[in-house]
Amino acid sequence: MRLLRRCAILGSCFFLMICSLVAQTPRFYIQTDRTTVSEGEAFTLEAVLENIDANNIQLGDLRGFTVMQGPSTSTSVSIINGKRSSTISWQYIIMAPHKGRFKISPATAKVGSKVIKSNELQIEVTVATQKQNDVTLDDSKMSFIRLEVADNDVFIGQQLALDYVLYTRQNIESYDIISQPQTEGFFKQALGDFTDQPQKTVIKGKEYYRQIIKRDILFPQKTGVYELGPANIALEVPLENARSSFFFRDTKREQTITNSVKLTVRKLPDNPPGSFSGAVGSFEMQARVRKSKVAVGESIVLELEVVGDGDPKVIKAPDFVLPEGLEKYEPSVIRDESFGRGGIIKSNKIFEYVLIPSKDTVYTITPEFTYLSASTGRYETQKAGPISIQVLKGQQGITSLPDEKVDMQFSPASDDHTLYNTQKGVITPLRYLMASGLLILLTLAGMYFKSQKIKNQLSGESMDKKVASLAVEHLSNARKYMDGGDLKAFYEEISQATTGYIMKKYNIPNTDAACEVVCEYMGNHHISPAIISSYRDIRQKCEMARFAGQTMDPASLYLAAESIINDLEKV
C-alpha cells in the first residue's frame, strides 16, 4: 500500500510538472477573426506572445491591406502552483480594399539579441455584396439600419434578397419595424427562419457591428426601374446605469429611417431555345420513368424534377424532342414545393409526362431543361439520360385477339370419277384454289381491320382509365395528408386530383390552365353548369388556402373533389 501511495504521489507531481512546463512553453503567432472577407470589409489581425519578454514587434508584409486602427495592446498574467505565465497581444484593425488572395508574411519580434518569427496567414478577399462607401452615416448616432441588395440589375423571375442591415456601436435590446417599403412589381416572401451572426466592420474609420436582422425574398414580375424604401424602424436601446433585473431592463426608444435602393429589372434575352422553361437563376434537373418495360398502348409515365432558386410560378414543363411513335399528352405538375435553405428560397417541381407508344420497339428519350443563368445572363441547357424504354406486344396487340372461325362448307366427295370438260364451266381444282385463296384473304383483311378498331378502342379506354386512376391516386394521397395534418400537401393533391384530371381528360394545353379557361373547355364539352360551378369553387378554395394562407374545411373540400370526379366519369 505504501508503495502504491508513493507511486500515485509521484505520478501527480510529474503530471503537474508537465502541465507547468506546457503552460510556460513560449509561443509567438499571428491570427485573425476570419480568413475570408469582402472588399472594403475590416477584420482584426492579432500578434500574440506567450511567455516571452520581447519588444520591437514588427508586422509582416501588409501590401494589399490598409491599417485602420492599432495597435491596441492587452496583457494577461496567471500564476499556477507558483509558476508564472503571461500573454501579450497587439491588435490591429485592417481593411481589404481589393479582391484577391493575399499572404500576410510572418511578424517578427526581438528577444534579447535574437529575432524570432511567427507563422504566416492566407487571406481571401471576395467581391463585396454592398460597397461600404455607399453607407451614409450620421456621426451623432450610434446605430442605424440600411436596406441592402446583392445586385441592383436583375432579370424578371430572378430571386433577389432585400436585407435590413443593422450597424451599431452599442447594445440593442430589440427592434420594431413600423413601416416597410412598398414592393409593387415584385412578389415578396419573408424568410422567417433566417439568422445572421454579427460581424465587425469599419465605416469612415469607426468600428461597427453589422448584422442582418430581416431578409425578404423578392421575385421581379415586370420590367422597369424601381425604388424601394425607405423603412421606418424603432430600436430599443438599454440605458446606461439604469435599474435592471433578470426580467426587466430600462430602455430608450430610438427612431431610425433607412435608405432607399434603386433596382433595374430587365427583360429576358431574345431567342430562347425551344426547351426554355421560364426559369431564371440556378437550377438542377433529373428525369426518370416509372417503368422501363411496357406493352404497346400502355402508358409510359416520365417524371422530370427541377430544383432551383428562381420564381417557381413562372417555371413550366419544358418541351423536348421525342422519338417518332410516342404520343405525348399535356404534362401536369405533381409536386410544387418551396423551402428556405442557406438564406434563399428554393423550389422543387416535378412534371409528369404521359406517353403512349404505338409500336413494339426500344425508345430512347433524352429530356432537356433550359433556364436563364442569372450569373452569366445566358441560356443554359441540362440533359438527362438517355433513358431507354422497351415496348413489347401486349394483351392489346393483334396477336392477343381471339381467333375468328370462318364458316366454310365443302360438298362431299363424289363417287363418280367421270372426267368433265373444263371448257363447260365445271369448277376445276385450279379455280377452286383461287376462290379459296381469295376468300381467305378477304377474311384476313376483315380480321385485321376489326382488330385495329378494337385496338384503337382499347387504347382510348386505356388512356381514360389511366387518367381516372391518376385522379384516384391524388385523392388517396390527399386523404393521407389530411389525416396526417399536412394541409399544404393536401391542397396540392386536391388541385392535381381536380384540375390535373380535367386537363388530361379533355386534352387542355398546359398554357390554358387558368380557371376560367378550364371552365370554358368544360362548357364546350357540354358539362353541366352545376359541375363547372362546383369545380370553380374547389379551385378558388385551394388557391386561397395555398397562396393566401386562409384555412378551409379540408373534409368538405375532399368530398367535393371526390364528387366532381365521379360526376365527370359518368359523362
* 120-136 pLDDT per residue, tens: 888 888 876 544 434 45
CA 491, CA 204: separation in Å to the nearest integer? 53
Supply the mean pLDDT for the chain.
78
Domain-located, residue 355: yes
Q: Are residues 149 and 169 in the same domain?
A: yes
Instruction: Find the mean pLDDT for residues 216-238.
Output: 91
CA 478, CA 565: separation in Å to the nearest integer? 14
In this prediction, residue 148 carries a pLDDT of 94
Cell numbers found for residue 42: 475590416
What does the buried/exposed string (b/e) look like for 351-371 if buried means 16 or more CB atoms within 10 Å of the residue's CB? bbbbbbbeeeeebebebbbbb
Domain-located, residue 155: yes
Residue 5 has pLDDT above 90, yes or no: no
Highest mean pLDDT, choosing among 63-77, 236-250, 322-336, 390-404: 322-336
Going by their DSSP bridges, the two strands 379-383 and 186-190 should be labelled as unpaired
Instruction: Find the mean pLDDT for residues 268-284.
Output: 91
Residue 302: Cβ within 10 Å count:
24
- Comparing CA positions, the residue from 219, 470, 481 lying closest to residue 333 is 470
Domain-located, residue 84: yes
Cell numbers found for residue 389: 424504354
The three state secondary structure string of 301-342 is EEEEEEEECCCHHHCCCCCCCCCCCEEECCCEEEEEEEEEEC
Domain-located, residue 118: yes
Q: Are residues 121 and 143 in the same domain?
A: no
Domain-located, residue 443: no
Q: Are residues 258 and 286 in the same domain?
A: no
- Comparing CA positions, the residue from 95, 100, 90 lying closest to residue 67 is 95
Query: Number of folded domains in the chain?
Result: 4
Of 266, 298, 324, the last residue of a domain is 266
In this prediction, residue 407 carries a pLDDT of 35
Q: Are residues 344 and 360 in the same domain?
A: yes
200 or 342, which is more confident: 200
Q: Are residues 460 and 565 in the same domain?
A: yes
In this prediction, residue 137 carries a pLDDT of 53
Angle of helix 554-570 versus helix 529-547 axis, rounded to 10: 140
Amino acid at 273: P
Domain-located, residue 485: yes
Q: Are residues 145 and 116 in the same domain?
A: no
Task: Give the count of alpha carbons within 13 A of 23, CB side only.
Answer: 16
Instruction: Find the mean pLDDT for residues 390-407.
Output: 50
Tell me the CATH number at 91.
2.60.40.740
Which residues does 96 contact at the CB level (< 8 Å), separation at least 6? Answer: 37, 38, 39, 40, 41, 42, 43, 64, 65, 102, 123, 125
Q: Are residues 160 and 219 in the same domain?
A: yes
Q: Are residues 147 and 260 in the same domain?
A: yes
Of 266, 285, 311, the last residue of a domain is 266
CA 211, CA 143: separation in Å to the nearest integer? 11
Under 8 Å between Cβ of 329 and 323: no
What range does the domain containing 536 cover?
Answer: 454-570
Window from 154-168, 379-393, 502-516 with minimum mean pLDDT: 502-516
What does the buried/exposed string (b/e) look like for 443-455 if buried means 16 or more CB atoms within 10 Å of the residue's CB? eeeeeeeebeeeb
Q: Are residues 109 and 137 in the same domain?
A: no
In this prediction, residue 423 carries a pLDDT of 39
Q: Are residues 244 and 298 in the same domain?
A: no
What does the buried/exposed string (b/e) look like for 111-147 if buried means 16 or more CB atoms within 10 Å of the residue's CB? eeeeeeebeebebebeebebebeebeeeeeebbbbbb
* 178-219 pLDDT per residue, tens: 888 988 899 998 887 778 888 888 888 888 999 999 999 999
- Comparing CA positions, the residue from 312, 308, 311, 335 lying closest to residue 492 is 335
Of 353, 380, 397, the last residue of a domain is 397
- Comparing CA positions, the residue from 400, 412, 505, 395 lying closest to residue 460 is 505
Under 8 Å between Cβ of 322 and 328: yes
Confidence of residue 255 (pLDDT cuts 50, 70, 90): confident
Residue 254 has pLDDT above 60, yes or no: yes
In this prediction, residue 425 carries a pLDDT of 42
Residue 78 has pLDDT above 90, yes or no: no
Q: Are residues 94 and 158 in the same domain?
A: no
Percent of the chain with pLDDT over 70: 76
DSSP H helices, 188-242, are none
Tell me the CATH number at 150.
2.60.40
Domain-located, residue 332: yes
pTM summary value: 0.50
Domain-located, residue 381: yes
Q: Are residues 209 and 259 in the same domain?
A: yes
